[in-house]
Amino acid sequence: MNTSTPGVSIGVIILVAFVVIVLLLLATCVKVVPQAQAYILERLGGYQETWGVGLHIKIPLIDRVAKKVLLKEQVVDFAPQPVITKDNVTMRIDTVVFYQITDPKLYAYGVENPIMAIENLTATTLRNIIGDLELDETLTSREIINTKMRVSLDVATDPWGIKVNRVELKNIIPPAAIQDAMEKQMKAERERRESILIAEGEKKSTILVAEGKKQSAILEAEAEKEAAILRAEAKKEATIREAEGQAEAIMVVQKANADGIRFLNEASPSSQVIQLKSLDAFAKAADGKATKIIIPSEIQGIAGLVKSVTEVGKDS
């Protein structure tokens, strides 16, 4: 009994070890693919299938996960590349490429090093595009350059299962001499704009002063005109009132004369009284100033009569 125990123990240990190895092997055969990733499965060295998101099991020792592919949009920043413009100016331009893997199989088997391939393709495409542009066009045509590069890279990387979404020129670095010239040009341009702004300000100020004087003269003329109109209206009103007063005076005199005549008519005066009143009227008309007065014959008789009566009165 004691001699058989070590053999049994060794067998149990071997069995347990075998079970553990099998379990570990099975555990390694179970794969969970996370979100936004894909696994390339090879069987005996050849492409078998592409695993998507979820739980997958492979055959031990036969299947293997050859590549894990990230399906998110990725960004790669390439180092500045030397390029020559159409007018023979050498500058350095660094680019940023936004790409996304659309076919994991083509990405895994299409090219050996996709990132290096995209970098070299970006450099050659950039040189071709910049070679057709002059310096000023290069500095002001970033959007055009970005669009051309994106289209060109998207077509070239399509067999690799890569889609280029955007290409951006991160920085354009011209030579130092060109930078100095550009800074001087910008300084001169700023000084020119400053001079223009100062001149425009002075012009506007002069115009505003002239317009102010013009408005002041117009207002003064309008005020003088209104004052003259008011004076004329006041004079007119005074004249009208004076005329109305004279008319009222004439009306009063005429009314008094009319009342006197009516009173005389109502009193039925004799012809001698009327002739005496006429004589009195002629005396008032002369007022001691007339040298000659022609008296009608009928009034002359009355005048002689009055003189005779006066002389009789004196004698008595």
pLDDT at 72: 94
Average pLDDT over residues 228-237: 88
- DSSP-assigned beta bridge partners for residue 37: 70
* Position 211 pLDDT exceeds 60: yes
Alpha carbon distance 165, 147 (integer Å): 10
121 closest CA partner among 89, 91, 156, 97: 156
Q: Which among 52, 49, 19 is positioned nearest to 38, based on CA atoms?
A: 52
Report pLDDT for 105: 94
Q: In the prediction, which pLDDT does 247 show?
A: 82
CATH top class, domain 74-174:
alpha beta
Q: Is the pLDDT of residue 8 over 80?
A: no
The DSSP output letter for 158 is G
Give residue 188's pLDDT band: very low, low, confident or very high (50, 70, 90). confident
Tokens representing residue 165 in the block: 């979404």
Residue pLDDT, tens place only, 171-182: 888 888 877 877
* Sole residue written with tokens 């739980």: 55
The residue-averaged pLDDT of 295-316 equals 50
pLDDT in tens, 248-290: 888 887 787 777 777 766 766 666 666 666 666 656 655 555 5
Supply the pLDDT for residue 294: 59
In the chain, where does the domain assigned CATH 3.30.479.30 lie?
74-174
Residue 245 pLDDT > 90 = no
- pLDDT exceeds cutoff 90 at 314: no
pLDDT in tens, 144-174: 999 999 999 999 999 999 999 999 998 888 8
pLDDT at 292: 58
**Spatial distance between the Cα atoms of 139 and 182, rounded to a whole number of angstroms:** 11
300 or 18: which leads in pLDDT:
18
Confidence tier at 312 by pLDDT (50, 70, 90): very low
According to the model, what pLDDT value does residue 248 have?
84
C-alpha to C-alpha distances, 295 to 47, 163, 278, 288, 301, nearest whole angstrom? 162, 141, 10, 15, 10
